[in-house]
Structures are given as structure tokens and as C-alpha cells.
Structure 1
Amino acid sequence: MLSASPEPLTPGEVRDRLDPAGALSYSTVVTTLTRLYENGALQRHRDGRAFRYSAVSNAAGLVADRMSRLLAGEPDRTSVLRRFVSTLDSGDEQILRDLLRDHPDQKMPE
């Protein structure tokens, strides 16, 4: 929802968009937004007494960032990447090969 918004939203605006009936607690929204900010998924800036939140990236960017963080924490990256590639279907494997081949900093044998 935040990534689709043209402007940053306050916690109250987020709550109103998520739950127009008002059953969702304001403090729950604030806590969730704060945790997402602390985990790097959101940006925030002060607007008066409140913060306004916006997405750092789109969904694909968030997944890619998470994959990078998980990989960075593994001492045996070769095994992790080998196992990941072995789980790809043929279409995804071809996409990955094309991306690696076309990446300006990578040279992959044809």
C-alpha cells in the first residue's frame, strides 16, 4: 500500500486505508511501521508531531534486498547458491542465465 501511494503517509492515514471501519488499533499500526522502518523497508520523516512513512522499494526490491541479506550471512555461499539454482524451474533458470549474461560487470561462459 505504501509503495502505491504517491506521497508518504502518516500512521493514521495508513490505518484508515487498511481498516476504514476503525477496528485496527493506531498503536498497532505505529508499532508495525516503526519495525518496518527499523528493518530498512520504510523511510520516514517528521511532519509536525507525526512521522510520514514511504516504501524504500517496490515488492521485487524488498525481496531482492532480503535475499542479499540472507546470503551475506552465510559462510558457504557457493553451497547456498548451488542449492538455490537447483530449485529453479527451467524458465527461471533461463531468466537467471540471461540476467547474468547481460549484466555489465559479469562475464558468463556461453
Structure 2
Amino acid sequence: MLYELLGAVRVGSLGEIQEVIKTVGMQVLMNGGVIRGVNNWDTTYLPKRTFKNQASHTMAQHFLMRFDCDPETQKIVRTTLGDDPRMVKFSVVKLGEGKLRDISRVEGHAAWFT
């Protein structure tokens, strides 16, 4: 199935966002999945103040990742991101109905983000 992950990492060094993406990517790959693409959306304001790990966040470094994997791997990714103290927020969305003909033309980058 094709999934889209939108993540917000606490503001810090570029290395932190790279480590988070690498961790998620390795989990997907080690469980037989495929990464279609990763987009870094730079640092932007969050819609509202968010509290995580006894800290208040108003800005975060956002990224988008599209990947194919089975539902069990997606659950592992969600658990890992939820436990990671660097993550402020994240959302994983299933794209299409899971049939190859529905998702075969989906590219790795988000065409609606320019």
C-alpha cells in the first residue's frame, strides 16, 4: 500500500531531520518496503502551539515522505515516530485504495507543493 508521511521535527540542526528520515526509511526498507520520495519543506510555523516532551513548540522542520509497505510496517513506523523525542507531530495517510492501478502513477514528490 502507498502511504504519505508528513512529519514535523523540532527545530535544530539539519542533522536531526536527516536522522529521523534515515530511521524511518531504514525501517521501511528492512521490512520489504519501497521509498518513493522525500521532500524537505524547511522550517515553518506550526498552526498552533504544541506541547511535546515538556517543551513548547511554535516552529518545526517539516518533511514529506511517500513509501510503499504493508500495514504492519506502517504501524512500526508510527510507533517509532511517536516514541522519538525529536518529533513534534506527524501524520500517516494511505493514498489510493491499495490497488496497483490506483497508485502506479503517483510520483515521489508532492505536485501540490511548490
Structure having greater relative contact order (Cα 8 Å, sep ≥ 6): 2
Say which structure is richer in helix: 1
Q: Determine if the TM-score, normalized by the shorter chain, exceeds 0.5.
A: no
Say which structure is richer in strand: 2
Report the structure number with the largest CA radius of gyration. 1
Q: TM-score, normalised by structure 1?
A: 0.28
